[in-house]
């Protein structure tokens, strides 16, 4: 594995590593690490840094949903055009063009189920190209952005053996 790939792996593991930590782990100097990170950012490979939050520990806990959208294109409208409009909504945490049974997958976050429902019914569904939406509410998050969440309680079921 080359140094660039190793640096990316370490940044994915923990973007808060200092340049000194990264240099030590990569067996190089801090200047080389700083240059490598700057190059990755300039190329757009590293598009940003964000904390991974455990939604269950936030007060109040946000409501998260996955929204499937089907669209119909016309001669003047492309997937990119629709994606541009959908990505502009602050409720949309992530947006992907999909293969399979639906066209777009949106990850949506709001303060309540009502807010998610209103967002979908008042902002997404009325777009002329949107032909169908299906909303799935997230009930529990076990892993997000590579980070596992554990409640520490373990399995509460009683052991049974005949």
Average pLDDT over residues 98-124: 96
Q: Residue 108 and residue 105: Cα distance in Å, rounded?
A: 10
Q: Which residues sit opposite 110 in a β-bridge?
A: 63
Q: Does the predicted TM-score (pTM) go above 0.75?
A: no
- Please tell me the predicted confidence (pLDDT) of residue 8: 83
Confidence of residue 122 (pLDDT cuts 50, 70, 90): very high
**Distance between start and end Cα atoms, the chain:** 51
How far is it, in rounded angstroms, from Cα 83 to Cα 129?
A: 11
Cβ atoms 3, 36 nearer than 8 A: yes
* Every domain of the chain and the residues it spans: 3-43, 57-138
Q: What angle do CA 93, 51, 58 make, to 5 degrees?
A: 80
* No. of helices (H) and no. of strands (E), the chain: 5, 6
Domain formed by 57-138, architecture: 2-Layer Sandwich (3.30)
Domain spanning 3-43 has what CATH number? Answer: 1.10.10
Give the model's confidence band at 97: pLDDT under 50 very low, under 70 low, under 90 confident, else very high.
Answer: very high
For residue 13, the model assigns a pLDDT of: 80
Report d(CA 1, CA 32) in Å as an integer: 17
Q: How far is CA 34 from CA 21, 28, 39, 60, in A?
A: 12, 11, 9, 38
pLDDT over threshold 80, residue 126:
yes
93 vs 162 pLDDT, higher one: 93
Residue-averaged pLDDT of the chain = 87
**pLDDT (0 to 100) of residue 6:** 85
Q: What is the pLDDT of residues 31-61, one digit of tens each?
A: 988 888 898 889 888 878 777 767 676 667 7
């Amino acid at each position: 594995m080359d140094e660039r790939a190793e640096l990316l792996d370490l940044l994915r593991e923990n973007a808060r590593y200092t340049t000194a930590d990264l240099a030590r782990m990569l067996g190089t100097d801090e200047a080389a690490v700083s240059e490598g990170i700057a190059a990755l950012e300039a190329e757009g490979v590293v598009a940003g840094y964000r904390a991974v939050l455990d939604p269950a520990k936030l007060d109040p806990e946000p409501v998260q949903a996955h929204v499937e959208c089907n669209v119909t294109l016309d001669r003047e409208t492309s997937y990119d055009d629709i994606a541009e409009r959908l990505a502009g909504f602050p409720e949309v945490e992530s947006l992907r063009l999909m293969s399979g049974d639906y066209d777009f997958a949106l990850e949506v976050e709001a303060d309540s189920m009502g807010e998610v429902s209103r967002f979908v019914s008042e902002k997404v569904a009325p777009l002329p190209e949107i032909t169908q939406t299906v909303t799935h509410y997230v009930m529990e998050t076990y892993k997000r952005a590579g980070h596992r969440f554990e409640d520490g309680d373990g399995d509460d079921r009683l052991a049974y053996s005949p």
